[in-house]
Each structure stands twice: as structure tokens, then as C-alpha cells.
Chain A
Amino acid sequence: MKIFTITLAATLSLCASAAMAQQAAPAGNIENGKKHFNSDGCWQCHGTLGNGANLTGPKLANTELPFEAFLMQLRQPSNDMPPYEAKIVSDQTVADIYAYMKSLPKSPDAKSLPLLTGMGVK
């Protein structure tokens, strides 16, 4: 998703107001974020733990995107993701989802998984 992130950052610097770009992430309610991640469809394309899926949506767990970029992706998706307007998922709910994604345990390092790295692909 590197390429995507760069594009998004570029779009942001063009579109987002200076005030918004400087906002810190609002405090989020992890429990409420979890609830909405599971009820509002995010899990469908991004995996039930935000783990990402090759063909439908990138990883969101432990996202390194700044909150503004995260929010902007919902309001004006960079490509094929369906839009989520504030009417149906408020900024606060997005902040909750963001907090939930940040709170998820890190995936194990691939190097510690011989079952994964031991397959034929080198």
C-alpha cells in the first residue's frame, strides 16, 4: 500500500484545509470503535481484525496513517472504497474506529513463523 499512501498524502495536502491537517486525532472510544468496525462493514474488505486482504482492502490494524488521512479516506476514498459520509459514520465514530485499529495487538514477525516462511517461495 506504499504507493497508495503517498498518493493519499498528496491528495490531502491539496484538499484538506490547513486547520484540519493540523488537528490531532480526537480521543476515541475503543469499544465503540470495535462495535462500528463490525457493524458498518469495514471488516468485509479489511478483514475481521483489520488484518487486510490482498484483493479487497489494505491492512488497517495498527495503522500508521495520521487520523486526517484515515478520515479523508472514508469521506473521499482514493479509489474504489465505498464512501462513508459524516451522516452515516460521524467524525467521532471514525475516531473510535481509528482508536480501535491502533489498539489491536501487533501481528507476529514473519521471521518467527517457520510454517509461513518455510513454504516453497523464497
Chain B
Amino acid sequence: MGKKTSDQAGLDRRGFLTGVAVAGGAGLSGPAQAQSNPAQAQPAPAPAARPKAPLPTAAQTAAENEHPPHMEALTTEKTGSDFMVDVCKTLNIDFLASCPGSTFRALQESFINYGQNKKPEWLTCLHEEVSVGMAHGYAKVAGKPMAAMLHGTVGTQHAAMGIYNAYCDRVPMILFTASAGPVEDRRPGVEWMHSVQDGAATVRDFVKWDDYPWSLQSFAESTVRGYALACAEPPGPILITADGKLQESELSKQEEAKLRIPKLTRGTQTVGDPAALKEAAKMLVAAENPVITVDRYARSQQGVDDLVKLAELLQAPVVDKQSRMNFPSQHYLYQNARGGALVGQADCILALEPVDLFGQLNRVRDQIERTWRRTSKPNAKVISLSTHDLLMKANYQDFQRYSAADLAITADAQATMPYLIEAVEREIGDRKSMFTARGQKMRDAFKAFAARAHADGALGWDSSPISGARMFAELWNQVKNEDWAFMTPNNYSGNWQHRLWPIEKHYQYIGSSGGSGVGYEPVAALGAALAHREIGGRLPIAIIGDGNFNMAPSVMWTAAHHKIPFLAIIQNNRAYHQEVMHIQRMANRHNRGVTSGVIGTEITDPNIDYAGLAKSYGAVGIGPISDPKELGEAIRKGVAAVKAGNPVLIDVVMQPRG
């Protein structure tokens, strides 16, 4: 943003004169006073001694505004990209994350100047995977989408994996990409490389909808339509391509007057058919050993509270697959600790938004011959209540193996829950105490879970590398009086969050990555931390594997730059450990080289200095900590720094797996 050279300023004739006029004719003291942005051209208090210059007459102004026929028009007051910003502003989008790219240069300039960089505020990311991952994590906490802008071709390619994660996780986001426009307008070289006939093709298999609007009116309609579609259950990312020519072309008053931005109407959610709900209620009430399995279900506290109500009505255990925070971990009906056994004994299973129904009912063994067996009873009745079948595409296989339920209710489970509760209440009638004995069994079983978790947690208590349970215990000790919230899944950290901490509120855990694309943890955490910052008063925590972190360490810079505080604990096992185990498995299977599984999977020699890396990005960096006795103090310092408004990274050298 250097100052204009006098040559450029001299050519900016229209802006130059405006500046002079607004400044009250302070004299033609040179091009440095030229102002093309009216917002910056606030009249400075005129020096008292100076004589007032006469204002230009109407005829003079008209003559200046009309372009002299012999000179090329090199500036314009309003462009298509300004209108695109108007469209986005009607959608109440708070943030737009982006790594810069010239294909959307007009749009970027319009957002920051014409749109005054508010609603949405432009956030600087250092990789497109960070931009979309941020949008992913943000939506899960804020309960509404944010936007990300991707450079034509190369930017969308960078973003692809993050989009896939959000698609698999059924999370809404509003994505824009761009293309340089018609062939005869393109500059040779890079503009061709970054132009594309069908920019969405790269990601079409895993966005919910996309469009390349060829007019501004169409841009308005597609963006509003896209927003509504992104949010409709099951939600997902949508992608709009903003054509370069449409962005950069002048928008005349006449053309603008013809444009209409449609209003946004969000569709109501699909609710289960009453006859099917009645049938489901009958099956559940009649069952001796019903089990509720729950996966990508709750999108708000309401969903959690409703599920508690249903489970209590039936005194049925809940087995949580944890794609969302679905049920309070301290409720006696939260029976994950014996989930496998319960599903195995169940005579009726209600599966709420299962991501993988087959996997809930069967087990596949990872030996040379991939044998599988049903782990649930063959005659157990299975009811699914899910939007699974409403969004399915052919190519990517996130839909999992086909598994037929006995009663498949295609509907949004959270929206349907109050009606299912009603149906169950009706079916129970005045027999309210009929499940008391079952409830008592659940309470008794629950009592043993904590003791078991504590006994397991004591194993390797003083070990170095530090055990998962020890790390979570030290962390708890420092944040127990804060309004903490986890922003990362727990499958790589030994499930300790759910085993040792009382996770009661929906925002305290935002579930899994969706597509298991490595790199989700830091980027989603950044977006989630932004949403927590906006809500205020919370202490956002991310437990990030070292391999995961290395996909996007620059999140620490974006967090420092935009003042997004959060605590990142690097669960440093100095490897892509999942792959260490896979290679070991292959070596064993092939009866050779069982000592070399670490080649190509370990991240050692040299060890990475994560604290130093964080510091270089402007965040607070602490560690590495390998002695469990030093961990409490390190976390105490980290928490204090987060509360002071900083992003903080603590490098904890930990056991390979929780």
C-alpha cells in the first residue's frame, strides 16, 4: 500500500479533482493530496489564513465527470465486485478467510474498501487449507457459516482436502473462487494458468452445490440460493465462481438499478413421518434391551437436552460415536465404556444420524483376510433416524458400506426428536415406572466407569514421554474454573476427554474432522477459537497431534495477527504414528523388517522446535515438556497468556497414543 507515484496520481484525474473539491479548495498543492476514497477525504480543518477557493460550477463538475472522448477511461467509481459485496452483506456473514490471489483482486478490494472490511471482515490466512478449515471449525461453534475466498485453479486445489473434510462432516461454508474471465481479455502467462472453464470441477464431488454465474443478477441469486442450501440439513459447503470480468467491469447506475438481491429464506428442516415415529416408539417401548447410538446428531444444546429426555424416558443407554457433542458424559445413561457389549446385547437399536451404520453393527478384522462378523444380534431391530441418504454422491465413498435398518426414517434427527419423544410418551402412557429397574442397572454400571478410568489413567502416570491421562489431569487442574471448550476430536488422544472430564455443554466438544484429512486439527481449532472469541468468556483448547500441526503451523500467525486467543497443546509423539503402526503391521505380515516401521513415518532427527515455530509466528511458545512434573507449571503459564489475549502453543512430548 505504498503512496501513489505522481505519475499515477496525475492520471487519476477524476479522484484528484474530487479530492480537491472536498478539501475545500485548499489549493493545488500537489498530487499527494489526491483522494479517490471519499471515506478518507474527510475535510481537514482548513487553515484559517487561507482564502476560500470558489466551488466548481455545476457545468464544470459535469464536464469533469464526463470522460473526454480522446482519453481512455482508466478508473471507475463502481464495479460488479461492489455489487457482489452488497449481495454478501445481505447474508450477515461475519468473516471471510482468504489467502490472497489475483483472480479475486477486485472482490478483495471491494470487500475491504467499498464494504469497509466489516460483515464480513477479511481474515488473512497463509494457505487455502487454513481458510476453509477455519470456516469448518467456526461453523461448528457459531452455528452459522462463514465464507472463504479461494484463488482460481491453484487456490481451489490447495483448499480441496479441507473442503472434503467439511463435506464429510456435513458442515456449511460459503466458498468463493474466481477465474480471469474471457480469453480475449486475459493477459498472457499466469492469467491463463489461473483460468478455468469449470473451476468447481476440482471439488464438485464434495460440495453440496456450485455455480459459475454469468451475470451479476445471477451472482445474486446463486449466492443467496447457495447460502440457503449450505445451511439446509444435511448442511455442506457450496462454491460460487466469481468471474473476473464480472468483478472488474464498471457497473453503471442504469445497470445497477435493474439488479435485485433476493431475500434469504431458510427452508424448514425435514421431520420424520408421524406414522414411522409411532412405529419406532412402539419398537423402543417394547424392547427389553434398547440402545441409542448417536453420532452426527446434535448441532446445539437443544439437541443434547432432547436426547437426555428421550434416554431418560426409556432409561435406555446411550452409546456415543462422538462426531458431535451429543450427550453429557456424566449422565448415568452415557454408557460408552461398555458400548460394544451393549450393542451386542441389544434387541432394539435406535441409530441417530449414524455416519457408519454398518460399522456400528459389524466388525471387520484387519488381518490378511479381511473377515467381518456381525457384532449385534442378528435379530436385533434397527431403527435409523438420519439425513444420511439425503446427501450422497457417487465418487467419494464417505457413505460407508450399505446396511439396511429395519425401520429407516429419513429425516433430521434433531428436528425430529421432540416428535419422537411425544410418540414415546404416548406409547408409555401411565406406565412411567416400567423402566425403573433398567435405569438402576445403568446407574450401577456407570458407577464402575470412573474407577476404571482412574485405574487406567494411573498406568504410566510418571512416564516420560508423558501419558495422555497425566496430560489431561494437569490440564484440568489449570482450567477447571474456566469456561473451557475443546476444539479437537479425541480419537488420537485416547478418549481421555470423555473418560475423565465432565463434558456437559454442547460447545465443550465439537466432534470429529469428517473426512479424517490430516491437518484438520489446527485449522478447525483456529476457526472455532474465532467463534469462541466472538461469544466471549471462553477458554478454547486444542489438542493437536504433531503430524497434524505440521500441515498448517501458520495458523499461529493468523491467530496472532487477528488476535484470536486459544491454547494449543501439541501432543508430540514425533511421528505420523497411525502410519508407524500401519507399516509395522505390514512388516509383521510379511515376516520381515519388524524393526524398520519408523522409516518414513517418524518426525525426528532433527526434532522440530514447535515452541520456537510458534514464537516465530508471533504467538507464545512453551516447551518441549517431557517431564510430567514440569507440565502443570507450563500449562499454568500458557493459560495465563491465553487469558491475556494470546494464541499459545505448548509442546508436550507424549506417549505414542494417549
Contacts and interface: CB of A to CB of B under 8 A. Distances in A.
Interface stretch (B295-303, B522-530, B650-658): B650-658
A121 B502 contact: yes
Contacts of B476: 118-120
Contacts of B502: 119-121
B407 interface: no
B588 A44 contact: no
A47 B454 CA distance: 17
A55 B493 CA distance: 9
Interface string B492-519: 0011100111100000000000000000
Contacts, number: 147
Main secondary structure of the interface of A (DSSP, over half): loop
B644 interface: no
B580 interface: yes
A48 B494 contact: no
Contact of B458 (A79, A80, A110, A118): A110
Contacts of B591: 85, 87-88
A102 to B, nearest CB: 15
The range of chain A's interface size is 35 or more
Given A115-B477, A120-B330, A44 B460 contact: no
A119 B473 contact: yes
The range of chain B's interface size is 35 or more
Interface in B582-627: 584-585, 587-589, 591-592, 594-595, 597
B463 A44 contact: no
Given A55-B494, A55-B495, A119-B473, A79 B365 contact: yes
Contacts of A110: 451, 454-455, 457-458
A26 interface: no
B461 A119 contact: no
18 contacts: A47-B459, A48-B460, A48-B465, A51-B655, A53-B656, A54-B456, A54-B496, A54-B499, A54-B658, A80-B367, A83-B588, A89-B594, A108-B458, A108-B462, A110-B451, A119-B501, A121-B330, A122-B330
Nearest to A39: B595
Interface of A: 3, 39-41, 43-45, 47-49, 51-56, 59, 61, 77, 79-80, 82-85, 87-89, 107-110, 113, 115-122
B432 interface: no
A83 B494 contact: no
Given A53-B656, A54-B494, A122-B450, A115 B473 contact: yes
B468 interface: yes
